[in-house]
Amino acid sequence: MTHRILRWLPALCLFGLMAQPAVAQQPPYDLLVKGGHVLDPKNGRDAVMDVAIADGKIAEVAANIDPSRAARVADAKGLYVVPGLIDIHSHVFYGTDDNAYLSGGPTAVQPDAHSFRSGQTTLVDVGGAGWRNFPQFKSEIIDRSRTRVLSFLNIVGHGMKGGPVEQDLSDMDAKLTAMRIRQYRDQIVGIKVAHYSGPEWDPVVRAVDAGKEADVPVMIDFGGHTPPLSLEDLLLKYLRPGDIFTHMYAHVRGRIPIVDENGNVRPYVLEARKRGVIFDVGHGGGSFLYRQAVPATKQGFFPDVISTDLHAGSMNGGMKDILDTMSKFLNLGMPLADVIKANTATAAAVIKRPELGQLGVGGEADLAVLRVQRGTFGFIDSGGGKATGDQKLECELTVRAGRVVWDLNGISHKPWNEIPPPDFSAPPRRGTRTQQ
Ligand SMILES: [Zn+2]
């Protein structure tokens, strides 16, 4: 607080002379995002407004906030100001362990290297860690990232290490999974089932058991089983309302797709949505086909949540990042407000963290400023097929807990010749860094 009083001192003196103590008590804002179109579905905001931030929190959202009340102003004219995006399907348990795949191996990616440049302030790692190695994930990644990293614990105790480790039914323990979730409520928000290829339902049953015990949702990557398991039974019998079916537009060997051979969304899929099962994109390297998404969205079957399935194997193919994935749905006819809602308010509700994905006053100041580019753009699916579109999202600015962590074109920065030159007279301060 001290630095803010010092910063305001001249004004305080001035106000003192002018005998206006009421105004003098008004604290200055650290950052004002000015003139952007605020889309904040949770709070029903859809209009040009200013967003003021102080002490890492949203301080005020209103039309025409005086820029002189802020230490720093970001010009968001012509841009959309949205809550920090949430990716509910990513793989960020990066590491260099041998044979560790997405559980401490190099196929996962570093969260901060991908999040902010795409407007994301929260990444949910799904299934990288299991109950056994969650503490390693926490100390090596979660605690060291500026991105808010949350976890869906794998029902496999060793997590997503690939190969036989993920086929071991004896390492899928509902009680110990639930116990670990209760120990780390702030970071663990769900349970993941993935990659098991046997004919048994045990992984799903045990994950749901653990989910009931710990009161968290489960996310199911359902492909592929030999022989294939019934998609209808999964969606209507095994999953609870609030559980998540990811890779919704996939068509992979061993898994029944949601659109049938005649191009119709299967009736039981529609029924599952009615009973509250959540449908998530989980694009990845092999799980988004226009042959599924085009007929499904023409029939109105859009995703509840748009996620990436980001990892080293997916990020340089058809899936580029969250904004490219969201842009695909914009161009499939999903309104911008719905696309934003999917990855803010809805994503937060799905992981039962309703304080996230919104710009309520007093909440942590996580936001993104997005540009909707107009032109001709190409988008590639995971089968190598291309679609064109005329809209594409780009991230201009990302703020995490009140700090600018990404500014593509310097909209929150002053010209170089208007900022003071470096001052080497003071000793370097350890543990502090200048805001970007
Ligand atoms: Zn995945």
223-268 pLDDT, tens digit each = 788 889 999 999 999 999 999 999 999 999 999 999 999 999 999 9
DSSP output for 186-233: TTEEEEEE----SS--HHHHHHHHHHHHHT--EEE-----SSPPPHHH
DSSP state of 94: B
The strand pair at 278-279 and 244-245 is best described as parallel
Mean of pLDDT values over 315-336: 98
| Residue 249 in tokens | 């537009």
- Reading the block at residue 244, the tokens are 């998540």
d(CA 370, CA 349): 22
Angle formed by the axes of helices 202-214 and 174-183, nearest 10°? 30
Q: Ligand 1 centroid to 212 CA: how many Å?
A: 23
Q: How far is CA 298 from CA 116, 264, 292, in A?
A: 32, 10, 10
CA of 430 to the centre of ligand 1 (A): 39
Q: Is the N-terminal amide bond of 227 cis, ω within 30° of 0?
A: yes
Q: How far away, in angstroms, is 281 Cα from ligand 1 center?
A: 10
Average pLDDT, integer, range 182-186: 98
Beta carbons of 109 and 131 less than 8 angstroms apart: no
How far lies 305's CA from each of 139, 149, 237, 341, in Å? 28, 18, 22, 8
CA–centroid distance, 146 to ligand 1, in Å, is 22
Cα three-residue angle 379-264-222, rounded to 5 degrees: 70
> Residue 325 C-alpha to ligand 1 middle, in angstroms?
15
- Ligand 1 centroid to Cα of residue 66, in Å, is 45
How far apart are the CA of 282 and the centre of ligand 1, in A? 7
Distance between CA atoms of 363 and 355, rounded to whole angstroms? 7
What's the confidence (pLDDT) of residue 428? 76
Using 50, 70 and 90 to split pLDDT, how confident is the model at 26? low
Rg over alpha carbons for the chain, rounded to the nearest Å, is 23
Cis, bond preceding 224 (omega within 30 deg of 0) = yes
How close is the Cα of 89 to the center of ligand 1, in Å?
A: 6
The alpha carbon of 188 and the centre of ligand 1 are apart by a number of angstroms equal to 16
CA of 215 to the centre of ligand 1 (A): 22
Residue 431 clears pLDDT 70, i.e. is over it? no
Write down the H helix ranges in 41-147: 111-114, 134-140
DSSP string, 301-318: ---SB----BSTTTTTTT
Check pLDDT > 90 for residue 208: yes
Q: Using the predicted structure, report yes or no on whether residue 435 has a pLDDT greater than 60.
A: no
Element (H, E) at 62: strand 57-62
pLDDT, residue 223, reads 79
CA of 301 from ligand 1 middle (Å) equals 22
- Ligand 1 mean position, distance from CA 319 (Å): 12
Pairing type for strands 45-54 and 80-83 reads: unpaired
pLDDT at 306 over 60: yes
What does pTM read for this prediction? Answer: 0.92
Q: Which amino acid is at 141?
A: I
**91 CA → ligand 1 middle, Å:** 7
